[in-house]
């Protein structure tokens, strides 16, 4: 069974993952409202992925005879800026999630809980991918220099090409 500290921090991570889902859905709504369906589609797929991450933590708690204690999910912002500003926010957010998961890993290691450490390996690898994806898109957006044609190209041929898992 998990220690109380690990149970608590994993429950906090569930909330962070569900907040991430809400955040990306709010960003999708912004893109939908601004005629960027490819960006919106990418964000919707990301929102679904983040919800799945939260559920992986949730399921893990029950796999190790612990329990979930769900808290209210904070409301995400309503207003957003340019696509480049939004993806800077995405990258910063993913870095925060990475730090949070590292904190859980460090606690599991300190408590000599190899089951939790091993479970977290999947999340650590996933965060490498999440940060790389956000950085790649941000780099491409910087290359456009805010040019509408470049943004539309990315919308239709890059972000719009992402398929939900």
Q: What pLDDT was estimated at residue 161?
A: 82
pLDDT of residue 51: 98
**Cα(137)–Cα(43) distance, rounded to whole angstroms?**
12
> Which range of residues forms the domain containing residue 65?
4-161
* CATH code (residue 71): 1.20.1260.10
pLDDT at position 164 is: 63
Given this model, what pLDDT does residue 160 score?
86
- Dump the DSSP string for 68-129: ----PPPPPPS----HHHHHHHHHHHHHHHHHHHHHHHHHHHHTT-HHHHHHHHHHHHHHHH
Q: Check residue 162 and give its pLDDT.
A: 74
Say how far residue 90 (Cα) sits from the centre of its chain: 8
- How far apart, in whole angstroms, are the C-alpha atoms of residue 17 and residue 47? 9
- In the prediction, which pLDDT does 165 show? 62
Q: Is 112 exposed, middle or buried (CB count within 10 Å of its CB: 0-12, 13-18, 19+)?
A: exposed
Q: What is the mean pLDDT of each run of 10 residues along the chain (165 residues)?
A: 96 98 98 97 97 98 97 96 97 98 98 98 98 97 96 93 70
| Domain total in the chain | 1
Give me the residue label for tokens 């909330």: 15
The CA distance from 61 to 153, in Å, is 43
Q: What pLDDT is stored for residue 1 in this prediction?
A: 81
For residues 13 and 101, give the distance between their C-alpha atoms in angstroms, rounded to a whole number: 8
- In which residue are the tokens 């460090």 written? 106
């Amino acid at each position: 069974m998990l220690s109380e500290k690990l149970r608590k921090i994993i429950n906090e991570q569930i909330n962070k993952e569900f907040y991430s889902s809400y955040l990306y859905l709010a960003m999708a709504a912004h893109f939908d409202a601004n005629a960027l369906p490819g960006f919106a589609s990418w964000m919707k797929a990301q929102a679904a992925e983040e919800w799945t991450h939260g559920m992986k933590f949730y399921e893990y708690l029950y796999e190790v005879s612990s329990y979930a204690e769900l808290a209210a999910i904070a409301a995400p912002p309503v207003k957003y800026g340019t696509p480049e500003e939004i993806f800077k926010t995405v990258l910063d957010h993913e870095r925060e999630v990475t730090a949070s998961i590292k904190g859980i890993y460090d606690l599991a290691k300190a408590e000599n809980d190899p089951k939790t450490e091993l479970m977290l390996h999947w999340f650590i690898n996933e965060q490498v991918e999440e940060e790389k994806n956000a950085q790649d898109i941000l780099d491409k957006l910087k290359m456009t220099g805010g040019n509408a044609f470049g943004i539309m190209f990315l919308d239709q041929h890059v972000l719009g090409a992402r398929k939900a898992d």
